[in-house]
Structure 1
Amino acid sequence: MNTAVKERHEPLKLDQAAIDKASKSLEEGAVTPSYGPWRDDIVKLLNDALATELVCVLRYKRHYFTASGEASPAIADEFLVHANEESAHADKIAERIVQLGGEPDFNPQTLQGRSHASYDASLDLQAMVRANLIAERIAIETYRQMIVLIGDKDPTTRRMLEEILSDEEEHADELKDWLGH
């Protein structure tokens, strides 16, 4: 005897009107009407994230080339690895902006103002590690907030940001391990 209570629910059903709209406005590429009014907001969030990644690349590159001291070779090598990973993040973000019909903003005159993280010109190795850890923690917080804001409005962008967030968390853990060396 089945004692489970049968719940009433609406059957899962696709929105045929939205599917029909998707066959129009082909110049929009992957952007269908279901992106709704959030597309411009998402592009703005992504352009700010792009600026952050580019500033991080510049900061890590500076630290890579200027790190000195007994522990510097290993730490500098890690700075270069992080710089390259941040550059790959920037490329993914720029590509997604274009897919959404936006224009990636690489303008060097506005990068720092749009970036969530700061540039750092420290010469002390521990100050470099600390500055990069702060920047990674800021990136983690901003990506977490962006993921929540975007939610189900743009699953592709959300998944991309979740992947980048995972990398940023890994960077922060690695930098934490270098504190005090």
Structure 2
Amino acid sequence: MQNIKPGTSDSLVLDEKALKQAAQNLEDGAVTPSYGPHRDAIVKLLNDALATELVCVLRYKRHYFTAVGLASAKIAEEFLVHANEEAAHGDLLAQRIVQLGGDPDFSPDTLRQRSHAAYDESKDLKTMVRANLVAERIAIESYTQMISLLADKDPTTRRMLESILAQEEEHANELKDWLAI
């Protein structure tokens, strides 16, 4: 076993300068020097994810109200459950944006442009399920990439995104099963 001398690059020590800086700029709340230059980029990523979640809420709500057919009642109920869960994801994202000192962007004028997933106006139940599955897969891919990009830059946001990702994966698996109906 190698002996590590304190103060060398191989030792595990806290950055005392950063700890002292953390006691400054109290108006920044949770945003400490360890966020470095990444805070603005993280807020942008989160605002784009917020737009995606809001578009997903709207798509799922539309599908909930317009689904018709033999299996529609049960699937429509699940569309509503998914809409509510997507809304909760949006709330988490907006809260985190505020914690990072940013402004959550709920502007309806730019939602479609900022969203990774598309809105859908299909009337056929199977097409609705397919459109929602595509959107969930896009959300899974975007959250996976965001988690990778954040790595150790923002562990709190990364953990939140990992939690959202797990639920998006559940949605995708349910939708995949519904395509077989």
Residue in 1 aligned with 2:78? 78
Residue in 1 aligned with 2:138? 138
Residue in 1 aligned with 2:7? none
Q: How does 1:92-103 map to 2 (within 5 A)?
A: 92-103=92-103
The answer to whether the 8 A contact 1:28-1:101 is kept is yes
Q: How does 1:1-181 map to 2 (within 5 A)?
A: 6-9=1-4, 10-181=10-181
Whole-Å separation in 1 of the counterparts to 2:21 and 2:126: 56
Offset at residue 12 of structure 1 (A): 1.7
Offset at residue 34 of structure 1 (A): 1.1
| Structure 1: 5+ residue stretches without partners | 1-5
Please give the per-residue CA displacement for 1:4-32, whole angstroms capped at 9, x wherever unaligned.
Answer: xx134433211111000000000000001
The answer to whether the 8 A contact 1:126-1:180 is kept is no
TM-score (normalizing by structure 1): 0.96
Please give the per-residue CA displacement for 1:92-141, whole angstroms capped at 9, x wherever unaligned.
Answer: 00000000000000000100000000000010000000000000000000
Identity across aligned pairs (percent)? 72
| Root-mean-square deviation (Å) | 0.7
Amino acid at match of 1:116: H
SS at match of 1:108: coil
| Structure 2: 5+ residue stretches without partners | 5-9
Amino acid at match of 2:54: L
The size of the alignment, in residue pairs, is 176
Please give the per-residue CA displacement for 1:15-63, whole angstroms capped at 9, x wherever unaligned.
Answer: 1110000000000000011100000000000000000000000000000
Structure 1 runs, 4 residues or longer, greater than 4 Å off? none
Whole-Å separation in 2 of the counterparts to 1:31 and 1:54: 26
Amino acid at match of 1:50: L
